[in-house]
A and B are shown apart, each in its own frame.
Chain A
Amino acid sequence: MAVTNKKTTEPEVAPDSTYFTPGEDIHDTKAPAGPIEKKWPQRQFTAKLVNPANRRKLTVIIVGTGLAGGAAAATLGEAGYHVLNFCYQDSPRRAHSIAAQGGINAAKNYRNDNDSVYRLFYDTVKGGDYRARETNVYRLAEVSGNIIDQCVAQGVPFAREYGGLLDTRSFGGVQVQRTFYARGQTGQQLLIGAYQALERQINAGTVEMHNRHEMVELIVHDGRARGIVTRDMVTGQIEAWYADAVVLATGGYGNVFFLSTNAMGCNVTATWRAHRKGAYFANPCFTQIHPTCIPVHGDTQSKLTLMSESLRNDGRIWVPKKAEDCTKDPRQIAEADRDYYLERIYPAFGNLVPRDIASRQAKNMCDEGRGVGPLVTEVTQDGKSQQRRRGVYLDFSDAIQRLGRKAVEAKYGNLFDMYQQITGENPYETPMRIYPAVHYTMGGLWVDYDLESSIPGLYVCGEANFSDHGANRLGASALMQGLADGYFVLPNTINDYLAGGPFEKVDDSTAEAAEALASAKGRVDKLLAVQGSRSVDSFHKALGAIMWEYCGMERTEDGLKGAIDKIRALREEFWRDVNVTGVNEDFNQALERAGRVADFMELAELMCIDALNRRESCGGHFRRESQTEDGEALRHDDEYAYVAAWEYAGDGVKPVLHKEPLEYEFIELKQRSYK
């Protein structure tokens, strides 16, 4: 065994201050005191209101049109605010929420299986390995039921039973059936629901939509977020937009790894630019590696495709017991020679353990030499070249025998078709091959209970914030959080801030706006002026390879330190030798990508610093130095039960670490167990 027999060492005590400066602790000041179930109603009562007649005098900028951004834009438009909404795609309907497959959790207890708001709250905190803020998670569970009601009323075609009522299924990390779904296209259907609500408000004139506009700067005036700078991706025009508050709902930063299940355009630029203007970036090293993705086919691979976690309801994961069987046709391997390792190690949860655990075990099996599929050459952290098979089987033959092919087709048909289209193999006949891939980022901009960042007037929703999933997100909870933030949370908290507006008028002549416009233009000019020899993509791939190897599924002290040096060198080379073709005043995709990769280069360093500082294992963050006897993640609650919120201190200056201590008032901190 590669990992499990290693001795657990105590973490070294002194954090390496070569990489950062310790700062003051921070706290959320918005969640009211009192019993947890009273906090949200209390906050809704104490939040200041804006008279309906005054709302149209207040402008809100929302960047992003996914579940969080689209839902927020539609809802604030309905409320009567003047909303400016931006997306980089050609239509708001294309936001990457659309690709979510499996489902959305809600504590409806329609199954009569002991589910409750409290249980959803508990499961989410436990699944996040006790690194999420209790108050935010409880509220998420509280509004989850309203989301389903809202979506059904909008015409979202959830799966139904013959009686006409909604069907639900199980997902990883829980023992109740609370996941609502729409075949394997739940994200698409929920997003189209939010998109239709948004289009209705565009028609009503409350929301002004700007497609093919990418946010490239934040404008902060008088200590408040007052606007953004965008680049029109068709004409290249760089212009400023002003508002009384700014909302970022720009998704996660998984594309820092180059290969991920994110859409090609997903990027960190909006949140990173806000970070550089003063918004704290929280827990950047918390990334989710999803266990069931289609393995990499070769060097020209541009992105990875997820196979929904819902497949683990009926599919069984295994590898051959003997390494010499790895090249055999899986159908020829006898039952006794198969190792259903998740069922063996975690009998209580079996194939439905949380994502971080399923991913790490898949890696362990392949590290032991029992992976399947083609041999891949890789360079290890010690710099040695080795060959490994990177895949495990996800097998449906039992389910097909038990339920019949028809029933399996009805449940998972579109996923099976997709698998066959990508790999050319038929999963009804031969087991799927899967391997973990970067999927989601739990880290993001730090927000308080109101979803307000450390810059007053800058709010952050959905995957772009850090708030609800701790160190690991449970399946079917991303859709829940996006819609909770967009439909129900933000529209009931941002009024508290807007009640103080309208704020003093700002325009292009305001010093901070002029500076932001000049800096955005300067960056474009700088990228175009390099005229080097390497393409943007080649830099992005190189960055991704560093991050996957050293800041991926297993992280070590030396590896992370080496990675920081490698990233710095790569960044220096990027600005010296990148080749960005074309001009700014045009539809220029090379230039778009160059700007994004430049920001990923800066983020990558912060991710490694965060991972280095956190000398414990928790959820998706696995430090080789910190594991239990049997190879599970070992937390150090005495030292690391905090949110690491990073403050930008300037180019080439060490970032400042602010800790938000996590206080568990309602849930007892325990070692997570799924055995």
Chain B
Amino acid sequence: MKITLKVWRQARNSADGAMVAYELDNVSAEMSFLEMLDMLNEQLTGEKKEPVAFDHDCREGICGMCGVVINGSPHGRYESPVATTTCQLHMRNFHDGDVIEVEPWRAGAFPVIKDLVVDRSAFDKIIQSGGYISVNTGSAPDAHSTPAPKRQADKAFDAATCIGCGACVAACPNGSGMLFTSAKITHLANLPQGQPERHLRIKAMVATHDDLGFGGCQNIGECASVCPKQIPLESIAQLNRDLIASLFRGDGKTA
């Protein structure tokens, strides 16, 4: 296939960026989207031009490192029949002669580093503020000492599949990180081990989320529709319920 790419080029955070067009020939349908970008970079390198910077690592949809906006949708969600990460999007979803626009995540909390690479360390900070169970190594009881009902354990698992890629934030008109935050809240709130710190956790995480410059949630739902791991919008409902309940509890700092 012949593909025309329009890629966001920005030398550094403080520089202005622009969309730049490139022509690619002989793109095969079996290639992944990132392999197509590799091909572009080989071509640019051959012309002694600077290749396009983009984040990627595992290329099997699990590490959460890759992520670009493709034709307006994060990870090219609306180019694919199924939920996907950028690395798992394949060129068989495109046609000969297509023009594809590629941009970085755009959100206040994710400053651009270069080209398609953004800084998502704000996500780590949300987890640091309480997205864990406080258990030191060596102090755990036998794994079977507390059975966990399967239905709730499965619910916890569904939320725990979040890969922290940031597509939810990129999709949200408000740049909100609520789906990400609620995935961790829902994961830990559905396990017996997560109960002691449940109220403490939610107040701290939501406060940090707001401090970091993420926008507020208006239940628009774009986040859940592009999420590669299909974290359901109900997670945010769980977060809101728990947050309200926690406001009547004394433990933890207040939101």
Contact = CB atoms under 8 A, between A and B. Distances in A.
Interface of A: 71, 74-75, 78, 89-94, 96, 98-99, 108, 110, 146, 148-155, 157-158, 160-166, 182-183, 185, 187-189, 192, 195-197, 199-200, 202-203, 209, 211, 234, 261, 263-265, 297-298, 300-303, 305-306, 417-418, 421-422, 424, 487-488, 491, 535, 537-538, 579, 581-582, 586-587, 589-590
B30 A94 contact: no
A633 to B, nearest CB: 30
**Most chain A CB atoms below 10 A, which of B12, B124, B142, B194:** B124
Nearest to A582: B50
Contacts of A195: 127
B127 A196 contact: yes
A263 B58 contact: yes
B87 to A, nearest CB: 9
Contacts of A74: 137
Nearest to A420: B82
A300 B137 contact: no
A146 B140 contact: yes
Given A94-B65, A157-B187, A302-B38, A264 B84 contact: no
Nearest to B38: A302
Contact of B121 (A91, A305, A590): A91
Top 3 nearest A-B pairs (CB, nearest first) are A164-B147, A196-B132, A153-B140
A78 B164 CA distance: 25
B48 A581 contact: yes
A590 B42 CA distance: 10
A301 B146 CA distance: 46
A96 B57 contact: yes
Contact of B88 (A93, A192, A422): A422
B156 interface: yes
B143 to A, nearest CB: 4
A421 B88 contact: yes
Given A149-B141, A192-B160, A418 B136 contact: no
B121 A90 contact: yes
Contacts of B191: 155, 157
B57 A196 contact: no
B35 A152 contact: no
B108 to A, nearest CB: 18
B140 A90 contact: no
Nearest to B157: A157
B140 A157 contact: no
A297 B58 contact: no
B93 to A, nearest CB: 10
Contacts of B135: 150, 153-154, 197
Contacts of A98: 58, 62-63
Contacts of B215: none
B173 interface: no
B53 interface: yes
Contact of A487 (B120, B129, B137): B137
A154 B42 CA distance: 44
B113 interface: yes
B144 A188 contact: no
A110 B57 contact: no
Contact of B57 (A89, A297, A538): A89
B141 to A, nearest CB: 7
Contacts of B238: none
Contact of A166 (B114, B117, B143): B143
A151 B148 CA distance: 14
A99 B35 CA distance: 19
Contacts of A538: 42
A607 B104 CA distance: 40
A234 B113 contact: yes
A423 to B, nearest CB: 8
Interface in B142-196: 142-144, 146-150, 153, 156-157, 160-161, 163-164, 187-188, 191, 193-194
B86 interface: no
B35 to A, nearest CB: 5
Contacts of A418: 60-61, 88
A125 B211 CA distance: 52
A305 B150 contact: no
A199 to B, nearest CB: 5
B140 A152 contact: yes
Nearest to B137: A75
B72 interface: no
A303 to B, nearest CB: 5
B193 A154 contact: yes
Given A89-B63, A185-B62, 13 more contacts: A92-B124, A150-B140, A155-B191, A157-B187, A164-B149, A166-B144, A263-B57, A298-B30, A300-B28, A418-B88, A581-B44, A587-B12, A587-B114
Contacts of B219: none
A157 B160 contact: yes
Nearest to A180: B143
A93 B121 CA distance: 11
Contacts of A306: 60
Interface in B94-128: 113-114, 117, 119-121, 123-124, 127-128
A538 B31 CA distance: 18
A488 B137 contact: yes
B69 to A, nearest CB: 17
Contacts of A185: 62, 161
A160 B148 contact: yes
B51 to A, nearest CB: 6
Given A91-B124, A166-B144, A422-B88, A153 B164 contact: no
A152 B193 contact: yes
A89 B65 contact: yes
Contacts of A192: 160
Contacts of B188: 155
Contacts of A197: 132, 135, 137
B63 A535 contact: no
B134 interface: yes
A347 B131 CA distance: 48
Contacts of A587: 12, 53, 113-114, 117
B246 interface: no
A581 B50 contact: yes
5 contacts: A89-B65, A157-B153, A200-B134, A264-B57, A300-B31
Interface string B17-58: 000000000001011101100110010111011110101111
B76 interface: no
Contacts of B64: 91, 93-94
Contact of B128 (A71, A153, A166, A199): A199
Interface string B64-93: 110000000000000000101000101010
B128 A203 contact: yes
A302 B34 contact: yes
Contact of B90 (A92, A421, A537): A421
A384 B148 CA distance: 60
Contacts of A154: 132-133, 135, 140, 193
A424 B56 contact: no
A153 B53 contact: no
A153 B132 contact: no
B138 interface: yes
A422 B84 CA distance: 11
Contacts of B92: 424
Contact of B123 (A91, A189, A581): A91
B139 to A, nearest CB: 8
Given A150-B140, A196-B131, A200-B132, A155 B161 contact: no
